[in-house]
């Protein structure tokens, strides 16, 4: 931002007057927030335009994602523009509290969890690195639902971030396109959000599409006084971008979902083709030299047959030519090996929604079958296994691997599992296509913005280069024996805990002791993430403290935050169980000073920014082999929390970097789980032999806890203890890992008391978090998959 303080004040005053017809002294915090947003949008307009012009001559990468979990923009934009302090000063002079202005912004929550947040971190890194890379997605009117609790059960309410419009988006009506389905067409209207890089004039773009009806109103019907039917078409068209599907790692196979996917993919490809033609004409030989498209999971994979359709049907290319361009243009990121998440579409539905794209998908499958018959002539079973269309289902992951030049996993362990197990057939066919790109997070949001105190200490010690080069943090190791630095680390952690205590008091009405260990598990609620293991341990601890009130014990606060998919009953049962355990324990005077349980309502990015900096312990306890990477684990590490975790996803790389001795690794490893499965795992063995475990598990059904007649605790109990046609008893090894987890928790409770030694471990984690910057991840994508180069506006 190049305006000075005086100019800035005038701009805020101007926009309060223009938009709300008021003097600044009369404005609400929300109105000030909006005026500030407008002032920023005006300030960056020129640079945004210039950046687009500069990039249009270069190869550009487009990140296709059904989700972008951006969170709030104001604070992040002010920091990246380098004007946060000035803005705070101006507001203070006007008698306005900046924090309240910041709180007036609703999160932009167009995502479920890690996958959407990764997309948001990637955009920040692309802009900061001056890389020509943009996002394409859907402008959902309602993002992820707002969560509240009633009687301990999750209640979902619609999220309405666009209630008053959105100051960070600019509609671009001139770029509108039409998207056609089997049953009619809709308009796709683009809205652009600026992605402001740190310390650069470059402004990248997130383009989100809104679905609109071709005719706003059917005049014929309206004139016949048929009001309802007159708006019906409009409603049906606009349903497409109405709401984000709230499932994290489950595939619903619903028609509207397929329409959403095709809608944003088709609109984005038409947009890219139009831009390409404007500059390069209709010779598409050079297309892959100017366009790279990353498919974030299988959600946008229908882009592969859609680009074929656009090339063959509309641009008149031969099938062979079109296919060779398509393969070179696209690349695919796999995010999961959970069977229930692998997207498949029923042929009948797919054909109905996108008939021509279905024909092309058949063509692609026939081509693949021909190729497989040549490569594996004596293995018809394998040819069938690798078919995109099998029986009446279309396998989007197979289409993704076949139609792209690169497939990547999101952490080293995950990529190895893909290569040697889940995607073994494909790895043998195309070994050169498989790459690893370990996920990362942006340090601008997750350290500089969320933890200014720790940021200031780091800058004081090693300078500020870490903001754009996180590997600089390694220099902090020089201070590992510096008692003064270690004490500062501890006092910053304490200050962040006190801030969280205040938030919990105000928002949830609960008192928490900042001298207790803050042990935090925040992520989507899923059986594989094993929040159940965590709460089982808490129940056991409570039982033990009741029996031995005088046992030596450092007080602990267990903090949870998680949304469950509305149809995922077991997950909702686990939320209810944690809330009930919290209620019982928090009101028990015998344990009151020692144990406290808090379930933070409506976990989202803005709340995450308060939780990560306040954590002593990061809970990363998924069943080994199930969590592809995780990124919450990285945010904790960067803020000096120690990990209690399994050797899963990026946890493996976290302890590789920071040292196993500075974290608390426990539990079965991937190969041990495989061995147990092979020889037959019986949860009754730990249930009967591990001290205290039987009592904990049975408390689900012996009346200790009460699910208000819903039967959900019984369901959880059966999922642990009984085989069923659709799963093995305790398929996530909660009981088998319980004792190892409890031992790790015991070590934490003892080691926490040696404050200086703990601070050293914190420091070692922070100092070795450099690898987990999304800047590093994005550089790897840019150099090894997209082949794009930086292009920077002159300062
Ligand atoms: C980082 C983040 C996630 C991902 O957390 P994991 O522990 O990696 O699953 C989910 N939701 C929000 C709001 C986040 O900030």
What pLDDT digit, counting tens, does each position of 234-243 carry? 778 999 999 9
With a pLDDT cut of 70, the percent of the chain lying above it is 98
Confidence of residue 1 (pLDDT cuts 50, 70, 90): low
* CA–CA gap between residue 252 and residue 185 (Å, rounded): 24
Is the Cβ atom of 630 under 6 angstroms away from ligand 1? yes
Best substitution site from 122, 620, 632 to test ligand 1's pocket, by max atoms within 8 Å of Cβ? 632
Average pLDDT of span 32-38: 98
**What backbone torsions phi and psi does residue 670 show, to the nearest 5 degrees?**
-55, -50
Whether the CB-CB separation of 364 and 403 falls below 8 Å is answered with yes
Q: Is 605 in the pocket of ligand 1 (CB under 6 A)?
A: yes
DSSP secondary structure string, 73-100? -HHHHHHHHT-HHHHHHHHHHTT--HHH
Cα(740) to centroid of ligand 1, in Å? 25
Name the phi and psi angles at 85, rounded to 5.
Answer: -65, -45
CATH of the structural domain 58-70+111-301, one choice from 3.40.50.2000, 3.30.470.20, 3.40.50.300, 1.20.1730.10: 3.40.50.2000
Q: What pLDDT does 695 receive?
A: 98
Ligand 1 close to Cβ of residue 631 (< 6 A): yes
Q: Which pLDDT band holds residue 727 (cuts at 50, 70, 90)? A: confident
113, 147, 622, best to mutate for ligand 1 pocket (most atoms within 8 Å of CB): 113
Spell out the residues 6+ positions from residue 56 whose beta carbon is closer than 8 angstroms to its own: 275, 279
Map residue 301 onto helix, strand or coil. Answer: coil
pLDDT for 293 beyond 70: yes
- Quote the crossing angle between the two packed helices 84-93 and 74-81, to the nearest 10°: 120
Around Cβ 677, how many Cβ atoms within 10 Å?
A: 12
pLDDT at residue 230 in the model: 66
CA distance 178 to 492: 53
Instruction: Please say if the pLDDT value at position 80 is more than 80.
Output: yes
Mean pLDDT over the full length of the chain? 96
Kindly state if the Cβ of 530 falls inside 6 Å of ligand 1: no
Residue 437: pLDDT band (50, 70, 90) is: very high
Cα 467 to ligand 1 centroid, rounded to whole Å: 21
DSSP E strand boundaries for 456-594 = 517-522, 556-561
SS3 134: strand
Helix (H) or strand (E) holding 416: helix 412-417
Ligand 1 centre to CA of 774 (Å) is 14
**Ligand 1 binding pocket includes 116 (Cβ within 6 Å):** no
Task: Answer yes or no: are the C-beta atoms of 788 and 131 closer than 8 Å.
Answer: yes
Which residues on neighbouring strands pair with residue 190, listed in sequence order?
209
Spatial neighbors of 586 by CB under 8 A, at least 6 apart, are 510, 592, 596, 597
Distances 423 to 26, 400, 415, 736 between C-alpha atoms, Å: 61, 12, 10, 28
In this predicted model, what pLDDT tens digit does every residue of 133-186 receive, in sequence order?
999 999 999 999 999 999 999 999 999 999 999 999 999 999 999 999 999 999
Report yes or no: 618 and 765 within 8 Å, Cβ to Cβ: no
CA 284: distance to chain centroid? 35
The 10s digit of each residue's pLDDT in 546-583 is 999 999 999 999 999 999 999 999 999 999 999 999 99
Confidence at residue 477, expressed as pLDDT on a 0 to 100 scale: 98
pLDDT at 616 over 70: yes
Q: Give distance in angstroms: CA of 772 to centre of ligand 1.
A: 14
Tokens of 243: 């709401």
Residue 217 has pLDDT above 70, yes or no: no
Residue-level pLDDT at 227: 66
Question: In this predicted structure, what is the pLDDT of residue 726?
Answer: 87
Q: What angle do CA 781, 294, 41 make, to 5 degrees?
A: 90
At residue 327, the pLDDT reads: 98
Give 567's DSSP letter.
T
Active site residues: 335, 523-524, 529, 631, 635
Tokens 């927030």 belong to residue: 33
For residue 228, the model assigns a pLDDT of 67
- Check if 572 has its Cβ closer than 6 Å to any atom of ligand 1: no
Q: What letter would DSSP give residue 644? A: E
Ligand 1 neighbourhood includes 523 CB (under 6 angstroms): yes
The correct CATH number of 443-465+481-778 out of 3.40.50.1370, 3.40.50.2000, 3.30.2350.10, 3.40.50.1110 is 3.40.50.2000
Strand (E) or helix (H) holding 695: helix 693-698
Return the ligand 1 atom nearest residue 441 CA.
Answer: 1
**Minimum-distance ligand 1 atom for the alpha carbon of 71:** 13
The answer to which of 225-234, 639-648, 716-725 has the lowest mean pLDDT is 225-234
Supply angle C-alpha 591, 592, 595, rounded to 5.
75
Q: Tell which one of 76, 120, 446, 522 to mutate to probe ligand 1, the residue whose CB is within 8 A of the most ligand atoms.
A: 522
SS3 track for 236-271:
HHHHHHCECCCCCCCCCCCHHHHHHHHHHHHHHHHH
> CB–CB of 765/640 below 8 Å?
yes
At residue 232, the pLDDT reads: 73
Q: Measured between alpha carbons, how far is 230 from 221 in angstroms, rounded to an integer?
A: 5
Give the DSSP per-residue string, 566-607. TT-HHHHHHHHHHHHHHHHHHT-TTTTTTEEEEEETT--HHH
CA of 604 to the centre of ligand 1 (A): 8
Minimal-distance CA residue to ligand 1 atom 1:
632
Query: With a 6 A CB cut-off, is 113 part of the ligand 1 pocket?
Result: yes
Local structure of 659: helix, strand or coil? coil
Ligand 1 centroid to Cα of residue 92, in Å, is 33
Q: Is the CA virtual torsion 14, 19, 25, 31 positive or negative?
A: negative
Ligand 1 within 6 A of 440 CB? no
Q: What is the mean pLDDT of residues 316-322?
A: 98
Short-list 267, 189, 154, 167, CA closest to 577: 154
115 C-alpha to ligand 1 centroid (Å): 8
- For ligand 1, the distance from its centroid to the CA atom of residue 727, given in whole angstroms, is 27
Report residue 509: phi and psi, to 5°.
65, 35
Asked if the model's pLDDT at residue 218 lies above 70, the reply is: no
For the segment 743-784, what is each residue's pLDDT rounded down to a tens digit?
A: 999 999 999 999 999 999 999 999 999 999 999 999 999 999
> What confidence tier does 248 reach under pLDDT thresholds 50, 70, 90?
confident
Q: For ligand 1, what atom is nearest to the CA of residue 604?
A: 13
- Assess whether the C-beta atom of 604 lies below 6 angstroms from ligand 1: yes
pLDDT at 250: 84
Choice among 212-216, 219-223, 407-411 with the minimum mean pLDDT:
219-223
| 395 CA → ligand 1 middle, Å | 27
- Does residue 224 register a pLDDT over 80? no
598 beta partners: 559
Ligand 1 atom with minimal separation from the 605 CA: 13
pLDDT at 176 (0 to 100): 98
> What letter does residue 629 receive in the DSSP assignment?
-
What pLDDT shows up at residue 592?
Answer: 87
Mutate to test the pocket of ligand 1, among 439, 608, 634, 643 (most ligand atoms within 8 A of CB): 608
The answer, yes or no, to whether any atom of ligand 1 lies below 6 A from the CB of 117, is yes
Residue 141 in contact with ligand 1 by CB distance below 6 A: no
The rounded distance, in Å, linking the Cα atoms of 752 and 90 is 42
The closest of 240, 249, 270 to 353, measured between CA atoms, is 240
Averaged pLDDT, 7-20: 96
- pLDDT tier for residue 337 given thresholds of 50, 70 and 90: confident
Shortest-distance atom of ligand 1 to CA 630? 8
Domain boundaries, the chain: 1-55+73-106, 58-70+111-301, 443-465+481-778
Fold: same for 58-70+111-301 and 443-465+481-778: yes
Q: State which of 111, 117, 119 you would mutate to test the pocket of ligand 1, scoring each by most atoms of that ligand within 8 A of its C-beta.
A: 117
Phi first, then psi: what are they for 268, rounded to 5°? -65, -40
Rounded to an integer, what distance in angstroms lies between the CA atom of residue 404 and that of residue 412? 21
Burial class (CB in 10 A: 0-12, 13-18, 19+), 718: middle
- Å from CA of 533 to ligand 1 middle: 19
Q: What is the mean pLDDT of residues 402-411?
A: 98
> Ligand 1 test: best mutation among 68, 112, 114, 571, most atoms within 8 Å of CB?
114
How far, in Å, is the centroid of ligand 1 from the Cα of 315?
42
Distance 226 CA to ligand 1 centre (A): 47
Is residue 789 helix, strand or coil?
coil
Question: Among the atoms of ligand 1, which is closest to the Cα of residue 607?
Answer: 13
| Cβ of residue 134 lying under 6 Å from some atom of ligand 1 | no
CB distance 120 to ligand 1 below 6 Å: no
Which residue's CA lies nearest to atom 15 of ligand 1? 605
DSSP 564: -
Residue 526 CB–ligand 1 contact under 6 Å: no
* % the chain with pLDDT above 90: 94
Q: Taking the model in full, what pTM does it have?
A: 0.98
């Amino acid at each position: 931002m190049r305006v000075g303080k005086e100019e800035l004040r005038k701009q805020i005053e101007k926009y309060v007057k223009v938009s709300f017809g008021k003097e600044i002294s009369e404005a609400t915090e929300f109105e000030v927030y909006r005026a500030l947003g407008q002032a920023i949008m005006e300030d960056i307009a020129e640079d945004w335009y210039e950046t687009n012009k500069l990039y249009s001559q270069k190869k550009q990468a487009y990140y296709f994602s059904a989700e972008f979990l951006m969170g709030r923009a104001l604070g992040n934009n002010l920091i990246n523009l380098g004007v946060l302090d000035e803005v705070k000063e101006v507001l203070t002079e006007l008698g306005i509290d900046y924090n309240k202005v910041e709180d007036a912004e609703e999160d932009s929550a167009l995502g479920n969890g890690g996958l959407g947040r990764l997309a948001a971190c990637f955009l920040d890194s692309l802009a900061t690195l001056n890389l020509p890379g943009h996002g394409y997605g859907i402008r959902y009117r309602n993002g992820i639902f707002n969560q509240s609790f009633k009687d301990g059960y999750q209640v979902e309410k619609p999220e309405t971030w666009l209630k008053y419009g959105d100051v960070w988006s600019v509609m671009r009506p001139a770029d509108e396109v039409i998207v056609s389905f089997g049953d009619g067409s809709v308009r796709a209207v683009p809205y652009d959000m600026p992605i402001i890089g740190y310390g650069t004039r470059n402004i990248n773009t997130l383009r989100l599409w809104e679905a609109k009806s071709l005719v706003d109103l059917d005049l014929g019907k309206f004139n016949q006084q048929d009001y309802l039917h007159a708006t019906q078409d409009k409603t049906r068209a606009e349903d497409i971008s109405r709401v984000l599907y709230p499932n994290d790692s489950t595939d619903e196979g619903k028609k509207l979902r397929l329409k959403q996917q095709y809608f944003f993919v088709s609109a984005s490809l038409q947009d890219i083709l139009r831009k390409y033609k404007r500059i390069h004409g209709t010779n598409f030989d050079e297309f892959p030299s100017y366009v790279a498209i990353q498919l974030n999971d299988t959600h946008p994979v229908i882009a592969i047959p859609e680009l074929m359709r656009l090339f063959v049907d509309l641009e008149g290319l031969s099938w062979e030519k079109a296919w060779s361009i398509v393969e070179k243009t696209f690349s695919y990121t796999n995010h999961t090996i959970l069977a229930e998440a692998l997207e498949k579409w029923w042929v009948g539905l797919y054909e109905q929604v996108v008939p021509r794209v279905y024909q092309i998908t058949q063509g692609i499958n026939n081509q693949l079958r021909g190729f497989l018959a040549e490569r594996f002539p004596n293995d018809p079973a394998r040819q069938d296994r690798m078919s995109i269309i099998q029986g009446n289902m279309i396998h989007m992951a197979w289409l993704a691997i076949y139609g792209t030049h690169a497939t990547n996993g999101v952490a080293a362990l995950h990529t190895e599992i893909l290569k040697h197990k889940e995607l073994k057939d494909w790895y043998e066919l195309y070994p050169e296509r498989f790459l690893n790109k370990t996920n990362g997070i942006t340090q601008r949001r997750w350290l500089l913005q969320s933890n200014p105190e720790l940021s200031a200490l780091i800058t004081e010690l090693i300078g500020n280069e870490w903001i754009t080069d996180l590997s600089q943090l390694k220099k902090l190791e020089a201070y590992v024996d510096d008692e003064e630095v270690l004490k500062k680390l501890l006092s910053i952690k304490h200050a962040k805990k006190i801030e969280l205590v205040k938030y919990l008091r105000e928002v949830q009405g609960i008192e928490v002791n900042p001298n207790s260990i803050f042990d935090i598990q925040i992520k989507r609620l899923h059986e594989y993430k094993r929040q159940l293991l965590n709460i089982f341990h808490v129940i056991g601890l409570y039982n033990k403290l009741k029996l031995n009130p005088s046992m030596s014990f450092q007080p602990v606060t267990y903090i949870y935050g998680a949304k469950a998919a509305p149809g995922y009953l077991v997950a909702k049962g686990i939320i209810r169980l944690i809330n009930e355990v919290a209620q019982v324990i928090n009101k028990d005077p015998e344990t009151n000073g020692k144990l406290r349980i808090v379930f933070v309502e409506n976990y989202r990015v803005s709340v995450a920014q308060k939780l990560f900096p306040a954590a002593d312990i990061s809970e990363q306890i998924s069943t080994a082999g199930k969590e592809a990477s995780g990124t919450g684990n990285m945010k904790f590490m960067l803020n000096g929390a120690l990990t209690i975790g399994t050797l899963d996803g990026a946890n493996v790389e976290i302890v590789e970097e920071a040292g196993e001795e500075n974290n608390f690794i426990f539990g079965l490893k991937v190969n041990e789980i495989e061995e147990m499965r092979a020889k037959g795992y019986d949860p009754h063995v730990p249930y009967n032999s591990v001290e205290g475990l039987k009592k904990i598990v049975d408390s689900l059904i012996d009346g200790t806890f009460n699910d208000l007649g819903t039967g959900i605790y019984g369901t959880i109990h059966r999922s642990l203890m009984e085989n069923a046609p659709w799963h093995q008893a305790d398929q996530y090894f909660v009981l088998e890992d319980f004792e190892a987890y409890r031992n790790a928790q015991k070590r934490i409770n003892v080691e926490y008391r040696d404050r200086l030694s703990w601070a050293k471990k914190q420091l070692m984690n922070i100092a070795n978090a450099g690898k987990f910057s999304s800047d590093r991840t994005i550089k790897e994508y840019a150099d090894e998959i997209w082949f794009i180069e930086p292009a920077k506006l002159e300062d």
